A and B are shown apart, each in its own frame.
Chain A
Amino acid sequence: MIRSMTRLSLLAATASVLVPFYAILAASLQPQDNLSPGLAWPSDPQWHNYVDAWSTGGFADLMKSSLIIALGVVPLALVLATLAGYGLAMMRLAVRGPIFALLMLGLALPYESIVIPLYYDLKSIGLLNTYWAVILPLIGAFMPFGVFWMRSHFESLPPELTEAAEMDGATSRQILRQVLLPTARPALTTLGLLYFMWAWNQFLLALILIQDPAMRTAPSGLGKFIQAYGRNIPLLSAGTIIVIVPVVILYLFFQRHFVKGILSGAIK
């Protein structure tokens, strides 16, 4: 009995995740003059809605911007997090504690609490409305997670690994490049994927720091799209699915990394 109860509750949980998706998929294929989509699968699926949503929402530009921002963030953030993670792992200075605490705070700080001053600061140095306005703050905001992530990877390695190299008189740079980096590939892949996803999905910073709608991330574009086409439910549904699909594909390909990264990232 417990067995069937378990399966039933798991299926219920799974279904509750999937039903809203099914609902908007069905809605996205209704004729655009249909104002009450309900749950029924359309008798004559209107795949053309996707073409319309793609062009009216300007999703080609938005996807490009999301990609530029994500690709601008990921490499630099990975390098900085790796260096700092290594630095913290071997640090024995008294400032280690305060640095830790400072980075910890960053994990709890909501974007809302920094975005308004960023708006005025970036404006005064002329970076507002450029991709940099989102890329640079995101790199900064991504540091706490990444540094802790890389540090815990380096600290999980057996000390003998570096000790031997130290004995041979290797510099810290050589140790990092030749001994530690080769072990870090899985950790870096996971971190890179998470960074990419978070940057691609970024909404608030892109909404406020970039005023040109075409330069925003896909989610921010979707936000505007929803406000503009509030009553055209099929078109909105199609737009929503367009924004969701790239992330879902990435997730399905690299599922293990995403699940492991978010679960163990939370615990560390």
Chain B
Amino acid sequence: MADSLANRVAVRDRTVVASATPVRARRSRLVPLLYTAPALLFYAAFVIAPWLHSLWISFWDWNGIGVATWAGLDNYREILADPALRLSLVHAFGLIIFYSVIPICFGLVLAALVANVPWKGMPFVRTVIFLPQILPLVAVGSVWKLFFDDDGPFNALLRAVGLSDFTRAWLGDFTWAYPAVGVVGTWVSTGLCFLLLYSGIGKIDPALYEAARLDGAGAIHEFWHVTVPGLRREMSVAATVTVIAALASFDVVYVMTAGGPGESTLVPGVAIYRLTFTAGQVGTACALAVVLSLLTCAVMFALNRLTREKT
């Protein structure tokens, strides 16, 4: 709709402009570009240029100090060949389950429940549930690192309810460290997903619910056939935002496990940091950065397509 409006404006403009001198017309059309230029300049200098530089470095074998030698695609081959680096990408995609899938499911059920039952306590719930979104992720990681500590509250909780057999050093455990780090993502994203979906439910046409009810549909049927389809857009927005956060996760992992034990929680962000500052493999680090950003853009593009087709 915005586009058709823009077109109409453009058409009207052309008729106005026709009477003015061509030079003036051209200048007035370039004015918007001048307004946009400073922002684009900053963006180009500090985001696009470094990204291109990253791409350039990724074709070189360079330790960050000495002379670089041309490596062609060797760094990319190394990412595929090196089990740890490959694993870091697998971990990043696995985090999508914790950052996106589980929070969206939770949020969906919660939003559907709440929509039917207005409650005075809602503003308070909203305030609390949104809190993880504004906290520095390092502090969030720190909170959870303490929570999962060998002698920390989580084990104390398990002991208190008679599950002492399950207590363990969660973040030092090769099997459990990854889900423990993932849970933090669920904790951070759930409130956001819930509130996004909750605000979306309010925009669903009430007539759809009435029609479903007239057809004798139960609450479950209503949920699957009215609420879920009606929230397509909000779900895709929630998915986009949280998937980006999952793939870019660094702060939480860096603080909680730094990728360990071994490589069991290694994510690309931490791998890039390690490759650059401890292994001196800047070329490989940049190749991983390029792969990560391309994968992120691809996922975002796919999610965008997915929702546009059906609406």
Please indicate the chain A residues that have their CB under 8 angstroms from the CB of B285 in the complex: 116
Chain B proximity mask over A1-36: 1 for CB below 8 Å, otherwise 0: 011011101100110111111011011000000011
Task: Please tell me if the beta carbons of A226 and B269 are within 8 angstroms of each other in the complex.
Answer: no
B80 within 8 A of A: no
Instruction: Identify the closest chain A residue to B39 (Cβ).
Output: A84
Using A2-B116, A114-B47 as known contacts, say yes or no to A91 and B33 having CB atoms under 8 A apart. yes
Chain B contact surface mostly: helix
Chain A proximity mask over B92-124: 1 for CB below 8 Å, otherwise 0: 000000000000001001100110110101101
Complex CA–CA separation, A27 to B147 (angstroms): 10
Complex CA–CA separation, A127 to B271 (angstroms): 25
B224 within 8 A of A: no
Partner of B50 from the list A14, A114, A223 (CB cut-off 8 Å) is A114
Please indicate the chain A residues that have their CB under 8 angstroms from the CB of B47 in the complex: 106, 109, 114, 137, 140-141, 143
Complex CA–CA separation, A99 to B192 (angstroms): 29
Complex CA–CA separation, A136 to B136 (angstroms): 20
Q: How far is the CB of B10 from chain A (nearest CB, A)?
A: 5
Chain B stretch 212-241: residues in CB contact (< 8 A) with chain A: 219, 233-234, 237-238, 240-241
Q: How far is the CB of A184 from chain B (nearest CB, A)?
A: 14
Using A24-B146, A38-B156, A197-B134 as known contacts, say yes or no to A93 and B29 having CB atoms under 8 A apart. yes
Task: Please tell me if the beta carbons of B143 and A21 are within 8 angstroms of each other in the complex.
Answer: yes
Task: Please tell me if the beta carbons of B194 and A13 are within 8 angstroms of each other in the complex.
Answer: yes
Instruction: Identify the closest chain A residue to B196 (Cβ).
Output: A263
Task: Please tell me if the beta carbons of A37 and B153 are within 8 angstroms of each other in the complex.
Answer: yes
B166 within 8 A of A: no
Task: Please tell me if the beta carbons of A91 and B36 are within 8 angstroms of each other in the complex.
Answer: yes
Please indicate the chain B residues that have their CB under 8 angstroms from the CB of A37 in the complex: 146, 151-153, 156
Of the four ranges (under 10, 10 to 19, 20 to 34, 35 or more), the interface on chain A belongs to 35 or more
Partner of B157 from the list A39, A95, A141, A203 (CB cut-off 8 Å) is A39
Please indicate the chain A residues that have their CB under 8 angstroms from the CB of B241 in the complex: 266
Task: Please tell me if the beta carbons of A17 and B117 are within 8 angstroms of each other in the complex.
Answer: no
Please indicate the chain B residues that have their CB under 8 angstroms from the CB of A36 in the complex: 151-152, 156
A236 within 8 A of B: yes
Instruction: Identify the closest chain A residue to B200 (Cβ).
Output: A267
Task: Please tell me if the beta carbons of B113 and A9 are within 8 angstroms of each other in the complex.
Answer: yes
Task: Please tell me if the beta carbons of A112 and B289 are within 8 angstroms of each other in the complex.
Answer: yes
Q: How far is the CB of A106 from chain B (nearest CB, A)?
A: 6
Q: How many residues of B contact A (CB 8 A)?
A: 110
Task: Please tell me if the beta carbons of B142 and A16 are within 8 angstroms of each other in the complex.
Answer: no
Complex CA–CA separation, A106 to B53 (angstroms): 16
B306 within 8 A of A: no
Chain B stretch 247-270: residues in CB contact (< 8 A) with chain A: 247-248, 250-251, 254-255, 268-269
Partner of A223 from the list B32, B130, B138, B190 (CB cut-off 8 Å) is B138
Complex CA–CA separation, A250 to B129 (angstroms): 16
Task: Please tell me if the beta carbons of A113 and B293 are within 8 angstroms of each other in the complex.
Answer: yes
Using A110-B293, A121-B50, A197-B134 as known contacts, say yes or no to A87 and B110 having CB atoms under 8 A apart. no
A74 within 8 A of B: no
Complex CA–CA separation, A267 to B96 (angstroms): 19
Complex CA–CA separation, A103 to B39 (angstroms): 10
A→B interface (CB under 8 Å): 2-3, 5-7, 9-10, 13-14, 16-21, 23-24, 26-27, 35-39, 80-81, 83-84, 86-88, 90-93, 95, 99, 102-103, 105-121, 136-137, 139-141, 143-144, 146-147, 155, 159, 172, 197, 200-201, 203-204, 208, 218-220, 222-223, 226, 233, 236-237, 239-240, 243-244, 247-248, 250-252, 255, 258-259, 262-263, 266-267
Q: Besides A233-B152, A240-B143, 5 other CB < 8 A contacts?
A: A10-B113, A18-B128, A84-B39, A92-B32, A248-B135
- What are 22 residue pairs bridging A and B, where the CB atoms are less than 8 Å apart in the complex? A6-B113, A6-B117, A16-B187, A39-B153, A83-B36, A91-B33, A93-B32, A99-B40, A102-B40, A107-B300, A109-B296, A110-B247, A110-B296, A112-B292, A116-B285, A141-B47, A143-B47, A172-B35, A203-B250, A223-B251, A262-B130, A263-B192
